[in-house]
Amino acid sequence: MRRSLFLIMALMLATPALGTVVITCNDESNGVVSISYNASTETELVRAFALDVSVDSGATIEAIDGNSFSGGEGNKYGIFPGTIDLTDPNNPDWNSPIAPSTDPGAEGTGLGTNRVILEMGSLYDPDVYAGPATSGQLCKLQLDLTSDCNVAIVVEPTRGGIVMEDGSTPSVTSGGCSISGAQPVPPCWLWLGQCHGDTVGDDLTIDLSDFQAFKAAFGYDYPNANYDPCADYDRSGTIDLSDFQTFKTAFQSGTVPGDCTPGGTWPPS
């Protein structure tokens, strides 16, 4: 009997612990950050998320991508308890996953600030739907930033945190991410001859078409509408005499070497 008891205890101790819900974010470029979850090691599905998302370096959260999630019943996290409108029970308005700034645990947060409280939940008939996936994307946020910043994601306990379908609270690993404030450079800055005067990108040949494009942009600075980054050969943000000398040398030779270094800083400072 004692031996059997020890064996049972040993088996219990050897049983793997429950998994962890992992929350991650990813830089989608141009200030867009996606937020995802992974609960594939859990025995239960996640019923609801309440997450505190913040950014630093003076950045703000300006919008949430309405195409990155969907509301209503079914196999998705589309119930937004903080803003749901049940005035018409037969046609509820699921509204937004961003909790109101006047709610407990969400004071002072919201779009236009550096913090938002995200709330998402599931609502489905198990006889009809299998329920949400064990991993996937929750939403995308649009940031307004002028430099690199960091995104932090933590569980918001006042709003319920993360809850499983059986009502239990799981272990949570929540990692942040770094978001680049750099914007993609103009495509012409990747041309091998642009820095030498190839304004229109026609196989490194410098001719009247390049001159006409340069002439139209000469004297203008970024962000003037007449500023043409393709005519900004030194990528300084100003199309001036320095660029003219570059063009003059290239025009006299007719062709230019294809040795420009791709890139630069955009927008130009």
Domain match, 129 and 238 both: no
State the residue for tokens 């991508």.
65
In a domain, 30, yes or no: yes
Domain match, 237 and 221 both: yes
**Domain end residue (candidates: 149, 179, 209):** 179
Domain coverage including residue 215: 187-253
Q: Which amino acid would we find at residue 264?
A: G
pLDDT value for 16: 40
In a domain, 77, yes or no: yes
In a domain, 263, yes or no: no
pLDDT value for 182: 79
In a domain, 266, yes or no: no
**Domain end residue (candidates: 152, 179, 206):** 179
pLDDT value for 3: 38
Domain match, 37 and 156 both: yes
Domain match, 42 and 116 both: yes
In a domain, 79, yes or no: yes
Domain match, 209 and 247 both: yes
DSSP β-bridge partners for residue 169:
none
pLDDT value for 18: 56
What's the CATH number where 66 sits? Answer: 2.60.40.680
pTM over 0.85: no
Q: Which amino acid would we find at residue 79?
A: I
> DSSP readout, the chain?
-HHHHHHHHHHHHHSPPP-EEEEEEEE-STTEEEEEEE-TTSSS-EEEEEEEEEE-TT-EEEEE-TTS---SSSSS--B-TTT-B-SSTTS-B---SBPPTTSTT-TT-STTBSEEEEEEE----TTT---S-SEEEEEEEEEE-SS-EEEEEEE-GGGT--EETTS---EEEE--EEE----PPPGGGGSTTGGGT-SS-STTB-SHHHHHHHHHHTT-BTTSTT--GGG-TT-SSB--HHHHHHHHHHHHHSB--S-PPP---SS--
DSSP β-bridge partners for residue 61:
113, 143
pLDDT value for 125: 87
Q: What is the dihedral of CA 201, 225, 184, 264, to 10 degrees?
A: 70
pLDDT in tens, the chain (269 residues): 443 333 333 333 333 445 799 999 999 887 889 999 999 999 999 999 999 999 998 899 999 986 667 666 788 888 898 898 889 888 888 889 999 999 999 999 999 999 999 999 998 888 888 889 999 999 999 999 878 999 999 999 999 999 999 999 999 999 899 998 877 789 899 888 899 999 998 877 888 999 999 999 999 999 999 999 999 999 999 999 999 999 999 898 877 777 888 778 888 87
Q: What are phi and psi of 89, to 5 degrees?
A: -60, -25
Report the domain count for the chain.
2
pLDDT value for 70: 64
Domain match, 131 and 245 both: no
**Domain end residue (candidates: 158, 179, 200):** 179
Domain match, 46 and 174 both: yes
CB 76 within 8 A of CB 21: no
pLDDT value for 185: 84
